[in-house]
Structure 1
Amino acid sequence: MRIPLTALAGCMVAGLLVPAPAAAAGRVGQAGLMATMGGEVMPQKCAVPKIRAGSVPSLRSFHEAMAKCADTFWAGRFAAAGLPYSSPEVTITTGKDSVCGAITGSGAQYCPDHRTIVIRITKQDLRDPFRMNIAHSVAHEWGHHVQQLIGVLAAQAALYEPASDKARKLLSHRVEMQAECFAGVFYSATLKSIRPGISWQNWIEAVRNADESDIHGKPRNLAHWQDRGYRGGATGFCNTWTASKAKIT
């Protein structure tokens, strides 16, 4: 999904999207990570470099730094919850194919089977390397990796296949909005280091005014969940599975 500036977020690879209903989310929550609520947010310093317009190596270095930042953050959160953590593979490319298959949409994807985040450097990124848009590609996809590790994705794979088209869309929205919320949790500790080039309020307003996506849902709800994760600073604020349809569609 892309906001009018450049890009907002990537998405799960079509066919591998495996949603979880409220019951499964509750079981995951009891495992540790999703039970965490509130508490003081501890700032995390990340060395994220400047981006030079038109430079593929510069963008690659930025993505690599963002990946290191996200990996450090989530490893710490999992450790605090007493849960095992493993890093995803990260592929940064200018091509159109990856282990996920054809790279579509905004160019950022997560492949659950391979536990791989794929980031494609696009021509738009090179022309207009807006830091927060580009950073969000990593933050959102790492949210999907977190979902994979805590069981939100794989544990519910069987539910997606028999679901109606309408039910699939709603389940897709719950997955994507939770990934947005996880990205917000990550930003709560790292935004200052990322130096986004935009205030948080203006960023959320840009998200709210993005084009609507069938996969992701209404921009106003995506903005709501990302802001909820940021202001809450904990994964316990990100249970999209028990949220009303009005907050998910």
Structure 2
Amino acid sequence: MGESAALESPIYAAPRTSARCELPAIKPDHWGSMKRYLASTSACLDRVWTREFAAVRVFYSPPRRRYIRHRTRDPQCGMMPAKGAAGTYCPLTSTYYILVPGDTIGPWGAAWAAQLIAHEYGHHVQYMTNILDYADFRSEGAAKRAIDLASRRLELQAECLSGVALRAARGELPPLTQFQDLYTGRLPAQWVRDHGRLSTQRHWFEQGWRSGRPAACDTWSGPEREVN
């Protein structure tokens, strides 16, 4: 739970990897096909991260997942996903929740769904490496500004780890340009404070994608200006 968990995590030594995964098409307005796509993407990321943890000889078990149309209650974390979010990870049950609005059910939603899963999966990676505990430790009793900074470092690292994982599985995924298109528009001020600006999120996602290695995702060592 100390600083070394985030700054010297053994996962940073993991190599670039790849996984060949067959992903089904998402049919317009067809919830069943969307669920199959979500499940297949998650299973693909299981393979990616299992290989990465095995390479550095660290114990690993994949997360649980729920794909839902309406918010639901987790037995430990309460209503999920968090209000206003499309995805949230609950470390107490090792489960991520993906809330799918109707307007994303179709081929046009493939990049959105894959990146959302990869981001929440990134939080599970942080949980398995005690980085999540370290972020909680940094936030305990801290001022709001310090809490927001720790949150941004955590969220932007998950964004970077999503880039690492999606690059490894990119053969069946949409092209990089479709993922880059997700970082357009504007975020509410609160989301910027604790998740970072969209341009910063894109920077860390692309850094993970280009490198393909978790070592590229150390958001904890750099100055605050790199995680704003």
- Structure 1 length as normaliser, TM-score? 0.81
Distance 1:22 1:225, change over 3 A: farther
**Residue of structure 2 equivalent to 1:192:** 171
Provide the rounded CA distance (Å) in 1 between the counterparts of 2:178 and 2:107.
18
Counterpart of 2:27 in 1: which secondary structure?
Answer: coil
Provide the rounded CA distance (Å) in 2 between the counterparts of 1:222 and 1:162.
27
**Residue of structure 1 equivalent to 2:78:** 101
**Aligned residue among 55, 64, 67 for 1:92:** 67
Q: Is the 8 A contact 1:70 1:186 kept in 2?
A: yes
CA RMSD of aligned residues (A): 2.0
The superposition leaves residues 77-122 of structure 1 with CA deviations (integer Å, 9 ceiling, x where unpaired) of: 0000110101111111212113142232242110011110111221
**Aligned residue among 122, 136, 157 for 1:178:** 157
Q: Is the 8 A contact 2:19 2:48 kept in 1?
A: yes
Matched, 1:25 2:6: yes
Distance 1:126 1:188, change over 3 A: closer
**Residue of structure 1 equivalent to 2:13:** 35
**Residue of structure 1 equivalent to 2:26:** 51
Provide the rounded CA distance (Å) in 2 between the counterparts of 1:160 and 1:228.
26
Matched, 1:221 2:200: yes
Provide the rounded CA distance (Å) in 1 between the counterparts of 2:122 and 2:84.
18
Letter in structure 2 aligned against 1:33:
I
**Aligned residue among 40, 44, 52 for 1:77:** 52
Matched, 1:146 2:121: no
Provide the rounded CA distance (Å) in 2 between the counterparts of 1:42 and 1:25.
22
Q: Is the 8 A contact 1:22 1:241 kept in 2?
A: no
Counterpart of 1:130 in 2: which secondary structure?
Answer: helix
Counterpart of 2:206 in 1: which secondary structure?
Answer: helix
Matched, 1:63 2:41: no
Provide the rounded CA distance (Å) in 2 between the counterparts of 1:74 and 1:33.
10
**Aligned residue among 105, 122, 125 for 1:126:** 105
Q: Is the 8 A contact 1:188 1:230 kept in 2?
A: yes
| Aligned residue pairs, count | 220
Distance 1:42 1:152, change over 3 A: closer
Q: Is the 8 A contact 2:204 2:217 kept in 1?
A: yes
Matched, 1:137 2:137: no
Provide the rounded CA distance (Å) in 1 between the counterparts of 2:197 and 2:142.
21
Provide the rounded CA distance (Å) in 2 between the counterparts of 1:202 and 1:136.
10
Counterpart of 1:124 in 2: which secondary structure?
Answer: helix
Distance 1:35 1:63, change over 3 A: same
Matched, 1:203 2:179: yes
- Report which stretch shifted further, 157-166 or 112-121: 157-166
Shift of 1:217: 0.7
Gap regions ≥5 residues in structure 1: 1-19
Counterpart of 2:172 in 1: which secondary structure?
Answer: helix
Letter in structure 2 aligned against 1:119:
I
